[in-house]
Amino acid sequence: MADSIQVRDLGKTFSYYEKEVGIRSSLKNLFHREKLLKTAVDRISFDIQEGGIVGFLGPNGAGKTTTLKMLSGILVPTEGAAKVLGFTPWERKIDFKRQIAIVMGQKSQLWWDLPANETFYYNKCMYEIGDAEYRRTLDELVEMLGVQEVLKVQVRRLSLGERMKMELIASLLHHPKVVFLDEPTIGLDLISQRKMREFLKAYHEKYRATVILTSHYMQDIQDLCRRVIVINRGTLVYDGDLAQINHSFQNRKIVKVRFHNDLAEELARLGQVLEEKEEEITLEAERENLPRITEELMAHGAAGDFVIEDIPIERGIERLYERKDGREDEDA
């Protein structure tokens, strides 16, 4: 199967200036100011096959949105190369723009004072979608998202969840072959998040669009993506199966203990304390220390509840971030 997206040593550096508070600093900056550089994306490379759906993860400021903006042609990179559907994105050719879509949870393409269906019709004309195809596609998307009753309501009157559904419809009317989704469920309640995931899964299964999804909600990633690309401080730190992220931590377990005596200090010597509350402690411990933890609890007759769990996927991703930041403990 061909690759829809090819990225080679892609990088983006921004210049900026700093200024102290006060009139004196303002006057000084009129005559001299030091230009500083910030590397947002640092020579990353990856390929995504046609029809794939990939999670794109990283902490705030990692470079995720900057990367999506370069791949969609909004930004021009400082270095490197990329091909999306065979096009160089920042050349912004018409045939390229007709085949992609980008949805940003914190940006809107809808006209605030008009109903969403006005934006839909504008996009129909812009993408030169035929009348029959437009009506068929719109009816299908509206039914899948359950927004029939609010199509004629001003966008400003819609809830956040309803607005995000309208954003998706506006972006998918022309059946793009590549879709960039940047935090599409941000700020939504749990029910709205679940419905959005169900829609994205159904849409992807039907149309086999290539999708890159960023989200800070791990449930979005776990429900939709098998493969994830993780970046931190602009650098790629992991590219592979989501299920394999915790492979390097397979000899470590999460131990949650409720006790009635003061055992926190003793237990802390057998693992890394992740959380400590009154009569409750959560440890990350080596598998080989589990018998010693059990013995300690039984010897004191202290265990009210004793639960052993695998390292959660969120914790595994955090450890990837820590490794890039140089904060990983030696025994991890």
Return the pLDDT at 268. Answer: 66
Give which of 140, 137, 146, 152 is closest to 164, Cα–Cα. 146
Sequence ranges of the chain with CATH classification 3.30.70:
250-325
Task: Domain 3-245: state its class.
Answer: alpha beta
User: Could you tell me how far CA 277 lies from the centroid of its own chain?
Assistant: 31
For residue 206, give the H/E element and its range.
Answer: helix 190-207
Return the pLDDT at 200. Answer: 93
* Amino acid (1-letter code) at residue 265: E
Q: Name the residue with tokens 């086999």.
A: 208
Strand partners, 273: 283
Give which of 11, 27, 127 is closest to 76, Cα–Cα. 11
Return the pLDDT at 155. Answer: 93
| Residue 191: Cβ-neighbour burial (10 angstroms; 0-12, 13-18, 19+) | exposed
Q: In what order do the strands lie in the sheet with 79-84?
A: 35-49, 3-17, 79-84
Which numeric CATH code is attached to 250-325?
A: 3.30.70
40-74 CB burial, b ≥16 within 10 A, e <16: bbbbbebebeeebbbbbbbbeebbbbbbbbbbbbb
Return the pLDDT at 247. Answer: 67
Return the pLDDT at 101. Answer: 95
* Amino acid (1-letter code) at residue 301: G
**Its pTM surpasses 0.85:** no
Return the pLDDT at 328. Answer: 45
**Binned average pLDDT, 10 residues per bin, the chain of 332 residues:** 89 87 81 86 95 92 94 96 96 95 87 94 94 95 92 92 92 95 88 90 92 91 92 91 74 70 64 72 74 71 65 75 54 38
Return the pLDDT at 304. Answer: 56
Tokens of 171: 């972006």
CB 259 within 8 A of CB 279: yes
Return the pLDDT at 267. Answer: 66
Return the pLDDT at 332. Answer: 37
Q: Name the residue with tokens 């972006």.
A: 171
Q: How far apart are the C-alpha atoms of 325 and 116, rounded to whole Å? A: 43
Strand partners, 272: 284
Return the pLDDT at 86. Answer: 95
